[in-house]
Amino acid sequence: MERRLIAIMAADAVGYSQRMARDEAGAISALEHCRAIIDEQIDGHGGRIFGSAGDSVVAEFASSVNAVECAIAIQQQLERRRAEQKDRFLEFRIGINFGDVIVRNGNLLGDGVNVAARLESIAPVNGLCISASVHEQIRGKTGAVFGFGGERELKNIDRPV
């Protein structure tokens, strides 16, 4: 079984299901505009998308610094676009973890991915939440400043993160 130690970024649109219920065509168009930005930033920061369903994207990065810089660039670009054309751009939460994953048929599985997805669920709207392992790796290497949120119990994760 092949394993990797990587940074995993999980992003998900906020309120997408409700928007779909109100205006399917508008929601799909907004998601497509956002995905163009997200996909371009992931590629530009050396990442690879390995999971995508509906309004969510999961990507891998060889570097936690690249993953964090990518997430910040995504949120900044989406914020600028929302200011210009509010209805055409969605809000996102992003979670980033650094961990061990299993490689299977081009997909990445395991606790490292699950933790990133759970961190995304507790991230602030239009913000990001990173694990302590990511914070340790980026310290002094980016201009980003993060507050310590304390250890958190995450759904279906057997230890505090």
Query: Can you tell me whether residue 93 is helix, strand or coil?
Result: strand
DSSP, res 17: H
* DSSP output for 51-93: EEETTEEEEEES-HHHHHHHHHHHHHHHHHHHHH-GGG--EEE
Distance CA 27, CA 109 (A): 29
Q: Are 46 and 63 in contact (CB under 8 A)?
A: yes
DSSP state of 143: S
Class of the CATH-defined domain 2-138: alpha beta
- Segment 142-156, tens digit of pLDDT: 888 776 666 666 566
Of the pLDDT bands very low, low, confident and very high (cuts 50, 70, 90), residue 64 is very high
Give the model's pLDDT for residue 156. 62
Residue 99 to residue 116: CA distance in whole angstroms: 9
Q: What would the pLDDT profile of 98-109 be if each residue is shown by its tens digit? A: 999 999 988 899
Q: Which tokens hold the place of 16?
A: 């997408």
| 96 three-class SS | strand
What is the rounded CA–CA span in Å between residue 10 and residue 58? 4
Query: Which sequence spans correspond to the domains of the chain?
Result: 2-138
Question: What is residue 40's predicted lDDT score, i.e. its pLDDT?
Answer: 98
